[in-house]
Amino acid sequence: DCLSDLGRLEESVADAATFISFLSTGYFKSPNCRRELYAALASDRPFIPVYEADTTKGGASLAVLMDECRANCVDVAPAAYLSYYGPNQMLARIFGEVDPIVWVRVNAYQLESLKAITLRMLRHSPYYSPSSDRRTSTSTSSSTSPDARRVCQGLAELAEGVMVPGQAEPLAFSGAVTILVCSVNGRAPGLAEEVKEAAREGRGSIAINTEPVVIREAEEALQRADATPLEGHVVFLLYLNDKAFLDEDGDVARLVQTAMDRRIAIVPVHEQDPGQGGCPFRQFLQQTPQVLQRSPYKLYDTVAVPLYSSVEHRKVSLRQVLRGMGAVPCDAGPLERQWQLLLRRIAVARLRRRRGSSDAREERDDSLVEASTAHGSSTTVDAEISAAPSADDPV
C-alpha cells in the first residue's frame, strides 16, 4: 500500500491482507513502525517478517533485532491496540510463529528472498487459505465443500514452491570428482557432505551423472607418500570464516599452498552467518598469509561463494559451489554439458598457464639478481625486471 497520510496508518494496516515487516537496525525504535505493529496485532493480520542481511544497510542478526524489540516495544495500552500486554507478545508474533525471511541483495539470492515472501503471501491469500470459520470447523460437510476442495488443491500447488526466470537451477557433475577438505578448516568437512548431496539433485528420477563424488582429507591425499592417487576432477574446498587461517599449526594455509602447487583448483566459500564466524571479507586479507595473496598463488583472484544458513539461500549457495567445481545444469543436453565442461577446462588451463608464467618470471628474476650481484650492478637488473612479462598479462 502507498500511504501518503501517516494519520491513516492504522487504517491502512487493517485494510491489508498480510503485514510484511522489514526489520533492520532502528526499526523497533521508530514510533510509527511500532504503530503499524500494534495495528497489525489488533487486526490479527498474518505477519511476514523479513530482515536485512547487509550490515552496511542496517542489517543485524536476529538476536540483536530481538533485543531491540524487547527494549522498545514496551508501550502501555497503545492507541492502536489497547489490550497489548508487552514485548513478549510482540516477540512471539514476529519471531516465534515462523522463521523470518532473510533479505539478500545479491543476484540469485535476492530472487530466493522474493520467492519466499511471495509464497507466504499466497498462502495467506483468499484463494489458498480458508476463511476463519472453515479453519475452526471440523464437520465433514465443510471438508468436502467446493471451497475446501479448492483450498486443498491450491495448497497442493504451492507445495512445490514458486519458480521465477533466472533462479538457480540444480547442477550435477558430468564425471568423477574428488573434493579435498582440511579437517581443521572449520565446517569444511560438513559442507563437503552438503555439496555431495546437492550434486545428486536432478529433475525427475534420472540423474545425469552416476559417477561417485569422493571426499578426502587433504592432509592424507596430498602429504602421505602412500596415499591413493587422486581420481577424476580434483578440487579443494576452502571454508572462510573468522578463524579460517588461525589454526595453531597453520595446516590450512600449508595445504592450500600445496594444492595450488599441484594445480588443484581452490573453491573458496565465504560464511555469511555471524553466529558461525561470518565476517567481512577484508578480515581474510588480514589473516591470510601474504604468500597466498601474492603471485603466483593469488588465492583471492577466485571469487568466494557466499554461504547462507537459511534454507532458501543455502540451496543457492550449494549450487554456486557446484558451479565453481565444474558442475553443469541437470537439464542441460549432452551438447550443452560438453560445452560447459570445455569452458571449465579452458578456465583451468588459463589458470595453470598464468601460474606457469609467474613461476618462469620469478625464476628469471632470481637469475638476473644473481647476475647483477656477480657484476656489482643493479641498474640492468631493474630494467630487466620492469620489462619482464607480468602474471596478469592476457593469456
DSSP β-ladder status, 328-329 and 171-172: antiparallel
Q: What is the mean pLDDT of the chain?
A: 81
Its pTM stands at: 0.74
The pLDDT assigned to 148 comes to 66
Q: What are phi and psi of 36, to 5 degrees?
A: -70, -30
pLDDT band for 51, please (50, 70, 90 cuts): very high
* pLDDT of residue 299 exceeding 80: yes
Compute the distance between CA of residue 177 and CA of residue 171 in angstroms, rounded to an integer: 14
Q: Which residue has the cell 593469488?
A: 298
* pLDDT of residue 225 exceeding 80: yes
Q: What are phi and psi of 51, to 5 degrees?
A: -125, 145
> Which grid coordinates are listed for 238?
576452502
pLDDT band for 113, please (50, 70, 90 cuts): very high
Average pLDDT on 216-233 reads 92
* pLDDT of residue 362 exceeding 60: no
Higher pLDDT, 128 or 137: 128
* pLDDT of residue 257 exceeding 80: yes
- Residue 180 bridge partners (DSSP): 216, 236
Compute the distance between CA of residue 179 and CA of residue 325 in angstroms, rounded to an integer: 9
- pLDDT over 70 for what percent of the chain? 73
* pLDDT of residue 290 exceeding 50: yes
Compute the distance between CA of residue 159 and CA of residue 153 in angstroms, rounded to an integer: 10
pLDDT band for 344, please (50, 70, 90 cuts): low
